[in-house]
Amino acid sequence: MALMASAIPPPLRFQIQILEGQRCPLIRCSIFSTTRNRHPQIYCIKVPTISQYSDPSKVKMYVDNFKEKLCETFPQPVKEFPWKKAENIVLHRLLFLGEKALKWSLITLFIVSSFSDVIFSISRNRELTIPLGLFVGCTMADFLKETSQELFPTAKERGSSRHLLGVAYFFILVKFISVFFTVGGQSFLSHVGNGGLMQILWLWRKLLEERDYGNEKGNSSGVPDASMSNNVQG
């Protein structure tokens, strides 16, 4: 038992001294041990004072130095990774997914609204307003699209999209206004709005199909040209 007690080192004593009179004081930590043949170990840590944090320029300097030292600790593959390109790709994908989600949510809302308008017309014995309103809405959508293209001629692809969006906003406004009319007017105007929006969706689908077909045709026509140029050079 006496041998075991003598083998256990005595507890360590710590002393902390703050060296004053410096721009950035050092905290001096000394560790003393009562065992023989051991010297105290001294560690110095550079800690900025509270008064230095009051200067914004110094705070910015400390932050920049910290960022530089943190970047130096990263391995080389992490530094060489194209973070900017990855950020652009992620943002592009998020915008694409958001656009798809918004499009399908609006289509779902339109289907539910149209179904509720049909039920409302049937419950009020206004069944004839359903086909009549849809026909008037489709005809007005085509007329307004052609008129807007003649009045505001712009680029072909982007202009067609803007014209369709403008006509769609008009029919959405018609559906909102129909709420303030009587039963007959409300039923008729709601189906006019539904017919116009249906026609706009159909025209939008045709526009996307034509755009995709044009892109495929351009890509397919570029391949033979490249092969012919290679044959001529050969």
Rounded to an integer, what distance in angstroms lies between the CA atom of residue 23 and that of residue 55? 14
In the predicted structure, residue 192 carries a pLDDT above the cut 90:
yes
| Model confidence, pTM | 0.57
Handedness of CA 186, 188, 194, 196 (dihedral sign): negative
The strand order across the sheet containing 26-32 reads 13-19, 26-32, 41-46
Angle at which helix 83-123 crosses helix 129-151, to 10 degrees, equals: 140
What residue segments make up the domains of the chain, in order of their start? 8-47, 103-215
Check residue 21 and report its DSSP letter: S
User: Distance from first CA to last CA of the chain, Å, rounded?
Assistant: 96
- For the stretch 58-81, pLDDT in tens is 677 777 777 777 777 777 777 777
Q: What is the pLDDT of residue 133?
A: 92
Distance of CA 7 to the CA centre of its chain: 65
Could you report the per-residue pLDDT of 114-162, keeping only the tens digit for each? 999 999 999 988 889 999 999 999 999 999 988 888 887 765 555 577 8
pLDDT at site 47 = 52
| Residue 142 near residue 80, CB atoms below 8 Å | no
From the CA atom positions of the chain, what is the Rg in Å?
38
Say which residue, 101 or 84, is predicted with more confidence: 101
**pLDDT of 31 above 70:** no
Contact status, residue 14 vs residue 31, Cβ threshold 8 Å? yes
The pLDDT, as a whole number, for residue 208 is: 81
